[in-house]
Structure 1
Amino acid sequence: MTMSGVPLWALAASLVLYLATAAAAVEVAWHRGVDALTEAGAHRLDLYAASLRSELGRYEILPAIAARQDSIKALLEAPPGARRALLPAVNGYLQAVNDDAGSVAVDVIDLNGDVIAASNWNQRVSFVGTNVAYRPYFTDSIAGGSGRFFGIGTNTGQPGLYFASAVRGAGKVLGATAVKISVDPLESAWRVPNEAAMVVDGNGVVVISTVPAWKFTALAPIAANRQEQIQASRQYAGRKVDNLGYERLDDWRSGAWFARLPDWTHPGRARRYLVMSRSAPQAGDAIMVALDLSTARRQQQLAFAFVTGAFLIAGLYGLYAVQRRRVIVERLKAQDALQRANDRLEATVQQRTAALQQEIEERVLTEQKLRDSQQELVHAGKLAVLGQMAAGLTHEINQPLVAIRTLCDNARTFFERGQPAQAIANLERVGKLVGNMAQLTAELKAFARKPETNTVPVALGDAVAHARLMYDARIRDERVHFDIDIAPDAIVEAEPGRLQQVIVNLLGNALDSLAGRDTPRIRVGASRAGDPARVNFFIADNGPGIDPHVLAHLFEPFVTTKPSGHGLGLGLAITSRIVEGFGARIAAVNLEGGGAQFTIEFVAANGRSADSD
């Protein structure tokens, strides 16, 4: 039997070889990883022992030096009533020694165990007046000349190491001097990742530890009588010493062993660590280090992954060799079919390309026709507006013509009478009337011609003035209040002719909406409020407003609010297309007090000036 072309016996043999190799690699990696941890632990213990010996050596001699001071001897020899005069000098000396050494405190203790002088005599928590007769460091120094003791301070609650030395004078012991040092610097210096270091005293209690939760716990249960002795000495400030939960497991080489300890990264759990120990410089104490086995486990995982990867690569290469032969045969068969498919595809592509080319040409032609139609539609909209303004413009032209005829007849009469001054005045008035008519016809001619397609800077104030001129007669006849508030810097990007058509359309619609109003009013304004790159332009009226049903479709073709026969509904649609061609936006709203407002947000012509006619 075969599986994908590979015999089953070959697969079974490969599986057995893989399992055996992986097991051997994992075991070798474990031994190497633990041996490396053992070597690192031994090195760490050497460093910790050296640093502890150096730290203790700095302070151990201090009590003996202080015990030789004459002022301290004189203080202990003096009767209690005569000590007050000697205290300032002794306290000052002890404070200077403590500051120079960097210790916690330096004390002078009489034979009763009372602290009569201390370096912290002037601090809120002072050792002066404290009785330490129960402390082993005091009793050992009185009995044997020196004492050493680790405990928690009864006044401060801070752990520390105490050194004491007897003070002798006249052949007898007068008292003792003591110095207390903090072990916090040691704990900080010993704290490294994946490792826990600790000092265990003669009671089996952890007194120094880089894991705060392990401090003042016992590696093994303490007997009841020993607990009583510890409580009597108040070594741990009266607190009960709990069991750490330490369990020794298998031994390893080089004096190391495995032990189960609380996990310092996950409180409440226990883990297996590699533990090593060495005697501490202080008699009866031991330095221990617990090493995290995660590095050895990672080496196992790497070894397993390496073997697995190697076998996978070998297996894949074998499968590749088998499949490659099969693929070559299939490829030769597929080449003929592919060639035939390519030939059919090329023919199809050529046909489709020709069809697409024809479609593109037709679309380009259609787009050109659409653009031409849009231009014609815009021009037609202008002509429609001109037709609506014809009556008013006829009135504007007829009145000046009648006045011109009358002024000319009067001028001839003045010349006949020999009054040339009056005749010349009449002729000047005729010239002004002709100028006004020429300006009006020029505006009509500029409005009616087909616009250019390029946008230029245009001043909105000038565009509104030209548009108003076309409706000036109607505004005057209908008594419309026309308010204009256009900022001087309201210059926009637009095509002048089309912009004028937009304003004319909107102004004409506003005038139409004011029919029948008692006090018709139109407001026109423009400013650069808000975004400096935009110009806001508006035309507002106080007419009846726009039907809400029509407002949503106002700029669509053939939508109008005028009665039947008064418009096709193309004016606002054309206006919207023109405005969008400028890159602007147009909107319409009904005002709260009545009327409607059209707003156009133009692109500001920054850094450019408007052309003047």
Structure 2
Amino acid sequence: MPGAPPPAAVEFAWDRSINALAEIGTHRLDLYAASLKSELGRYEMMPSIVARQESVRALLGAMPDPAAGLLQTVNTYLDAVNHEAGSVAVDVIDQHGLVIAASNWNRPESFVGTNVSYRPYFQDALAHGAGRFFGIGTNTGMPGLYFASAVRDAGGPIGVTAVKVSVDALESAWRTPGEASMVIDANGVIVISTIPAWKFTALRPITAEQQHRIQASRQYAGRSVEALPYRRLDDWGTSAWFARFPDWAHPGHERRYLAMSRTAPQAGDSILVLLDIAGARHQQQIALAFVTGAFLIVGLYCLYAIQRRRAIAEKLKAQDTLRSANDRLEITVRERTAALTQANERMRQEIVERTRAEQLLRDSQQEVVHAGKLAVLGQMAAGLTHELNQPLVAIKTLCENAVTFFERNQPAPAIGNLQRISRLVDSMAVLTSELKTFARKPDFERVAVSLNEAVTHAVLIYEARIRDEHVQLDVLIPAGTTICAEPSQLQQVIVNLLGNALDAVAGQTERIISIEASRNEQPGRVLFSVSDSGPGIAPEVLSHLFEPFVTTKPRGHGLGLGLAITSRLVNGFGARIFAANRPDGGAQFTIEFSETTAQETANGR
């Protein structure tokens, strides 16, 4: 360790932790060597067993023109053997290196037709009877270990059988947190590794001759073998050493390991295990903390003995102070509780009084609305008198004519007069019923209301004035438009807006009033507007238009309550009302209502 030498206890803790870690490494190496020998050893005899199969020997003997049935028999046999053994593939190769039968003959990645004469396992099998080779498949790109055996007849080798074995299961079984395990081949290249990023990198420099041999055999599928950056540090005993390797969990950083290796069961290979020494370093730090803590404990005990006597005295004093504070607190709590009880009682009384005041306010508001209706009825009295006088005069004339017709024994004209009298009475009844509905005090239930019907009722009330003053009224409301409102209050709102529009166009050369409705861009909302061709609203009045007693009419022609009442009614519907001057002249009042669906209308909502 850098700096001053550590205490003996700290050094002892370090040595003990590393020795324990080395014992773990030795156990890991024994376990991995045994599993490697067990996993790969059970496949080593497979090629020679397949080579003794009569159908395989017959197929190689019949080359280059084997019977189709014989080839199918061998392919089926190889597929069954591969399935039972759990290997990647089993192949039969002729003496020129061409794969003529394979366990994957009927799959897209079939090896049939592939020439493997450049592979060392094929060359060794022909030359020495058996071959072994680790490499990446040129067809699949999947790494594996190849075992090969020569197929012989009386004249010598006639072909080779080969088995490819995957090492993925070994890598998965060897993975342990905080450790890295790998198998290094004779070239110094990592071929099996629990760290995927380190596979097919070299732990020692690769010579030009080795590079040439590797490329010729396509051992790593044409990859250029690069060196894994690591540094070997101090040795630990005879079987372990310290080294710095890249930290696979944190790219760009290094981590210190205890490295241990031994020869693998297969010739030329070795097994390397890297053990993270962070735990040992932690034990060393704990030991250092323990030694430091021991000295601190002795010093603290001395301070404790000095402070104890002082603390006892202060504790007794604090107990007396606490007892006095508790007594004062109990008195304060009783006083605050009494004050809160009184405040709660006053609050309950205020709530009752406020509820009563709100009810009185609602009642007063309805009285004001009703008074507004009666005021509108008073303004319409002259027009209504004219509307009723005309039918009454006509009825009197028709009655006198009917009497004359009966005296002359002319019943047909008399009956016609009586029918016209009936129609006049019906029209008068419609007008009076509309006035009765308009004058009635409303309730507060909001339901689905047809906007067309509400406008029709309001227009009927002002029908005489519209006709007599030659006002052009345009109503553009889509059929079936329904909104959520209280029917009589909605009629009051439309009557107020229509009456204001009639007052605005009075005396104008062009007298046009437009009543329109359309669905808003926001779902579930309807825009309803009443616009006129009058002089518009003065800017200084526009911002205060819906306040009580604000009016643009001459003195004596209104109290300025109509729009204030209209605004309160609209707010009661859950809607909003706006006023603005039109660009081409005149004023426009717009209400944004909540739309009701057909199902809500059917339910009477």
Q: TM-score range by the shorter chain?
A: 0.7 to 0.9
The partner residue of 2:232 within 223, 240, 247 is: 247
Q: Which residue of 1 aligns with 2:593?
A: 601
Q: Which residue of 2 aligns with 1:181?
A: 164
Q: Which residue of 1 aligns with 2:563?
A: 572
Deviation at 1:51, TM superposition (A): 1.2
Give CA-to-partner distance per residue, 1:332-367, whole Å, 9 cap, x none: 111221133234434544654565466556544543
Gaps of 5+ in 2: 1-6, 83-87
Deviation at 1:282, TM superposition (A): 1.7
TM-score of the aligned structures, taking structure 2 as reference length:
0.72
> Where does 1:346-365 land on structure 2 (aligned, <5 Å)?
346=337, 348-349=339-340, 352-353=343-344, 356=347, 359-360=350-351, 363-364=354-355
Q: Which moved more, 1:549-558 or 1:94-103?
A: 94-103
Matched, 1:103 2:89: yes
CA contact (8 A) 1:533 1:604 kept: yes
> For the structure 1 residues 504 and 529, does the alpha-carbon distance in structure 2 shift closer, same or farther, using more than 3 Å as the test?
same
Deviation at 1:473, TM superposition (A): 0.8
Q: Which residue of 2 aligns with 1:392?
A: 383
> For the structure 1 residues 397 and 150, does the alpha-carbon distance in structure 2 shift closer, same or farther, using more than 3 Å as the test?
closer
Q: Which residue of 2 aligns with 1:10?
A: none
Deviation at 1:579, TM superposition (A): 1.8
Give CA-to-partner distance per residue, 1:119-148, whole Å, 9 cap, x none: 58998995549567xx58636853x44443
Find the aligned partners of 1:248 and 1:66 in 2 and give their Cα distance: 57
Deviation at 1:93, TM superposition (A): 8.4
Deviation at 1:380, TM superposition (A): 2.7
Q: Which residue of 2 aligns with 1:280?
A: 264
Deviation at 1:271, TM superposition (A): 1.9
Q: Which residue of 2 aligns with 1:69?
A: 57
Give CA-to-partner distance per residue, 1:499-531, whole Å, 9 cap, x none: 221121111122223335556444445577888
Q: Which residue of 1 aligns with 2:3?
A: none
Deviation at 1:472, TM superposition (A): 1.2
Deviation at 1:580, TM superposition (A): 1.7
CA contact (8 A) 1:64 1:177 kept: no
Find the aligned partners of 2:272 and 2:315 in 1 and give their Cα distance: 61
Deviation at 1:393, TM superposition (A): 1.6
SS of match in other structure, 2:89: coil
Q: Which residue of 2 aligns with 1:477?
A: 468
> Where does 1:81-100 land on structure 2 (aligned, <5 Å)?
99=79, 100=81
> Where does 1:330-349 land on structure 2 (aligned, <5 Å)?
330-346=321-337, 348-349=339-340
Give CA-to-partner distance per residue, 1:534-588, whole Å, 9 cap, x none: 6654434454555566544433333444455543332111111012223333334
Find the aligned partners of 1:543 and 1:472 in 2 and give their Cα distance: 19
Q: Which residue of 2 aligns with 1:6?
A: none
SS of match in other structure, 1:115: coil
CA contact (8 A) 1:64 1:166 kept: no
Q: Which residue of 2 aligns with 1:587?
A: 578
TM-score of the aligned structures, taking structure 1 as reference length:
0.71
CA contact (8 A) 2:11 2:284 kept: no
> For the structure 1 residues 283 and 546, does the alpha-carbon distance in structure 2 shift closer, same or farther, using more than 3 Å as the test?
same
> Where does 1:112-261 land on structure 2 (aligned, <5 Å)?
115=97, 118-119=100-101, 128=115, 130=117, 135=120, 138=123, 142=127, 144-150=128-134, 161-165=145-149, 173=156, 177=160, 179=162, 181=164, 183=166, 185=168, 189-190=172-173, 192=175, 194=177, 195-221=179-205, 239=224, 242=227, 245=230, 247=232, 249-251=234-236, 258-261=242-245
Number of residue-to-residue matches in the alignment? 571
CA contact (8 A) 2:512 2:532 kept: yes
Find the aligned partners of 2:335 and 2:464 in 1 and give their Cα distance: 76
> For the structure 1 residues 50 and 556, does the alpha-carbon distance in structure 2 shift closer, same or farther, using more than 3 Å as the test?
farther
CA contact (8 A) 1:400 1:433 kept: yes
The partner residue of 1:53 within 18, 30, 41 is: 41
Find the aligned partners of 1:457 and 1:188 in 2 and give their Cα distance: 73
> For the structure 1 residues 461 and 137, does the alpha-carbon distance in structure 2 shift closer, same or farther, using more than 3 Å as the test?
closer
Find the aligned partners of 2:359 and 2:457 in 1 and give their Cα distance: 32
> For the structure 1 residues 494 and 263, does the alpha-carbon distance in structure 2 shift closer, same or farther, using more than 3 Å as the test?
closer
Find the aligned partners of 1:87 and 1:417 in 2 and give their Cα distance: 129
> For the structure 1 residues 496 and 269, does the alpha-carbon distance in structure 2 shift closer, same or farther, using more than 3 Å as the test?
closer
Q: Which moved more, 1:389-398 or 1:338-347?
A: 338-347
Deviation at 1:477, TM superposition (A): 1.3
SS of match in other structure, 1:177: strand
> For the structure 1 residues 582 and 207, does the alpha-carbon distance in structure 2 shift closer, same or farther, using more than 3 Å as the test?
closer
Q: Partner amino acid for 2:549?
A: F
CA contact (8 A) 2:259 2:273 kept: yes
Deviation at 1:471, TM superposition (A): 0.9
Find the aligned partners of 1:570 and 1:383 in 2 and give their Cα distance: 13
> For the structure 1 residues 279 and 500, does the alpha-carbon distance in structure 2 shift closer, same or farther, using more than 3 Å as the test?
same
Matched, 1:266 2:250: yes
Q: Which moved more, 1:319-328 or 1:93-102?
A: 319-328
CA contact (8 A) 1:200 1:207 kept: yes
Q: Partner amino acid for 1:598?
A: T
Give CA-to-partner distance per residue, 1:223-256, whole Å, 9 cap, x none: 7887788788886669566365362655489x66
SS of match in other structure, 1:284: coil
> For the structure 1 residues 271 and 399, does the alpha-carbon distance in structure 2 shift closer, same or farther, using more than 3 Å as the test?
same
CA contact (8 A) 1:49 1:287 kept: no
Deviation at 1:476, TM superposition (A): 1.4
**CA-based RMSD:** 5.3
CA contact (8 A) 2:150 2:157 kept: yes
Q: Which moved more, 1:276-285 or 1:115-124?
A: 115-124
Find the aligned partners of 1:456 and 1:157 in 2 and give their Cα distance: 74
Deviation at 1:262, TM superposition (A): 2.9
Give CA-to-partner distance per residue, 1:192-211, whole Å, 9 cap, x none: 35343322234443333343
> For the structure 1 residues 74 and 329, does the alpha-carbon distance in structure 2 shift closer, same or farther, using more than 3 Å as the test?
same
Q: Partner amino acid for 1:514?
A: V
Find the aligned partners of 2:142 and 2:345 in 1 and give their Cα distance: 94
CA contact (8 A) 1:275 1:290 kept: yes
Deviation at 1:72, TM superposition (A): 3.9
SS of match in other structure, 1:604: coil
Find the aligned partners of 1:427 and 1:74 in 2 and give their Cα distance: 123
